[in-house]
Amino acid sequence: MKARVFVTLKPSVFDPQGRTIVEALHSMGYGGVDAVRQGKYFELDVNAGTADEARTMVSEVADKLLANPVIESYRIEIAQ
Amino acid sequence: MKFAVVVFPGSNCDHDAYHAAKHVLGQDAEFVWHKDTSLAGADAVILPGGFAHGDYLRTGAIARFSPVMASVKAFAEAGHPVLGVCNGFQILLEAGLLPGAMLRNRGLKFICEYVGVKVEQTDTPFTSACAPGQILNIPINHGEGNYFADDEVLDRLERERRVIFRYVNAAGEAAPDANPNGAARNIAGICSERRNVVGMMPHPERACEPSLGSGDGLVLFESVVKTLAEQGRMAVQK
């Protein structure tokens, strides 16, 4: 089973990399891009009986390691 | 007294810390590998700077799970002195031994330069020999030293006098122009609730001898000796 985890900085946390990227886009002429937030993307191959089991395990993994709850939040997608 | 200097794969200030403790301060010091679970009977533990486990994922995120960290946590919880410098501070944050997290430096650049660091509190084992308000000239050397915590946590740290070091300008003011990395409230270092665990981004161990540019960092090591002697926890070997 495949799991995808998207880790992003919480809205209240300043993202210096995102800011630099949006400034670069503006200098490239893409004034239509108002803001960029950078994050991390993980693909996990998991061995689990059901999608729910996979989700439970991946949430645990994200809480413990993939994301730092002080500054980041995450979203999980399970693909059969 | 004896310092344990923890060595992670990727630590690179471990020898500086060992040298400062053993050769400059004249106390005993021993390296402890990250897979060890014994702290070699040390009186104080140093988590040195570097890039533990390559800092993959996030700074300190993998190091937090090194076997030695369970012993460091127990040692800290027993009230013994633990100092995390730079990457060591980042590891203490990830391990939850200190509150907050590190973000990329505001300007995205890796910064290596001497900064002014004001000692805000002297009632920790690593600042007990400092004069209140003393300004140390010591280097920073990091890409992620932009200290972050939400306002509630920051207010609590201030209320409990747990901001131990702040970046300051020549006038000793924690002004925006003295802030090298965007750290919240110019914070360069904090301590735990019980004050025995201290984390800081600047490197005192690299500035313990005037021949290296500054001897200002030595007072942190002298502080541990002073504190432990006052507490009668060990016989001072000189």
> What whole-number distance in Å separates Cα of residue B98 and Cα of residue B73?
11
Structure tokens at B94: 């990830």
State the pLDDT confidence band at A3, using cuts at 50, 70 and 90: very high
pLDDT tens digits, one per residue of A14-30: 998 899 999 999 999 99
User: Stretch B62-85: mean pLDDT, rounded?
Assistant: 97
> What whole-number distance in Å separates Cα of residue B202 and Cα of residue B199?
9
pLDDT higher than threshold 80 for residue B188? yes
The answer to whether the beta carbons of residues B21 and B221 sit under 8 Å apart is yes
Q: Is B115 an 8 Å CB contact of chain A?
A: no
pLDDT tens digits, one per residue of B93-132: 999 999 999 999 998 999 999 999 999 999 999 999 999 9
The answer to whether the beta carbons of residues A16 and B104 sit under 8 Å apart is yes
> Residue A20, exposed/middle/buried by CB under 10 A (0-12, 13-18, 19+)?
middle
Stated pTM of the model: 0.93
Q: B101 and A16 in contact by Cβ < 8 A? A: no
pLDDT tens digits, one per residue of B134-162: 999 999 999 999 999 999 999 999 999 99
- Out of B19, B34, B142, B203, the active site residue is B203
Is B30 considered catalytic here?
A: no
* Residue B62 CA: distances (Å) to CA of A14, B10, B92, B193, B207: 23, 12, 12, 24, 28
What per-residue confidence (pLDDT) applies to B235?
46
Is B15 considered catalytic here?
A: no
The answer to whether the beta carbons of residues B178 and B142 sit under 8 Å apart is no
